[in-house]
Amino acid sequence: MTIQLFNDALFQQLHAGAAQSPRRRLNHNIHSDLSDPVQRLFITLMPDSYVRPHRHSQSDKWEFFLMLEGTASFVVFSPKGEVLARHELCAQGPLRGLEIPPNTWHSVVAVEQAATFLEVKQGPYQPLSTEDVASWAPAEGEPQVADFLQRLKHCRIGDKFHE
């Protein structure tokens, strides 16, 4: 194992790559393999990137987030799509990070400009199952995404996203 360094050039590449990506986000894996027991990665989101609300239903699949640049809102939902909490993480504080327990419905959205955060989670990597993506939220690429994303950016506790 060699020492890994994370310099400004890496974060500039993440920002540029996210701006060019069709999904409007980009990650840089720190872990060497998807089977590693701990997954560590940097993610840069552009403000128009859509992360469909989802959960990790496995009992050991918590997620830890620490903001490095910009501001992002982490939204927590009930299983039926009601907003239970909204946490605005900002690299400049006062709230810079959070940990989401397993089986928590959530999404994240960059607030006004690109946002970069460190994510740490239990491995190995497992793709989301159909049951772990919100049926009440549009899939990436669907025409309703733009409207849903705008609602997500401005939602408040108690707002309902289900039909």
131-154 pLDDT tens trace: 999 999 999 999 999 999 999 999
67-106 pLDDT tens trace: 999 999 999 999 999 999 999 999 999 999 999 999 999 9
Q: What is the CATH number of the domain that holds 78?
A: 2.60.120.10
109 belongs to a structural domain = yes
Whether a cis peptide bond, with omega within 30° of 0, leads into 94 is yes
Q: How many domains does the chain have?
A: 1
Q: Which whole-number Å values give the CA distances from 106 to 5, 10, 21, 32, 79, in the listed order?
A: 30, 27, 22, 26, 10
Strand partners, 116: 44, 69
Q: Decide if pLDDT at 36 tops 80.
A: yes
Distance of CA 148 to the CA centre of its chain: 16
Domain enclosing residue 57, as ranges? 23-154
Q: Decide if pLDDT at 163 tops 70.
A: no
78 belongs to a structural domain = yes
Measured between alpha carbons, how far apart are the two ends of the chain, in Å? 50
13 belongs to a structural domain = no
Q: Decide if pLDDT at 22 tops 80.
A: yes
Q: Decide if pLDDT at 1 tops 80.
A: no
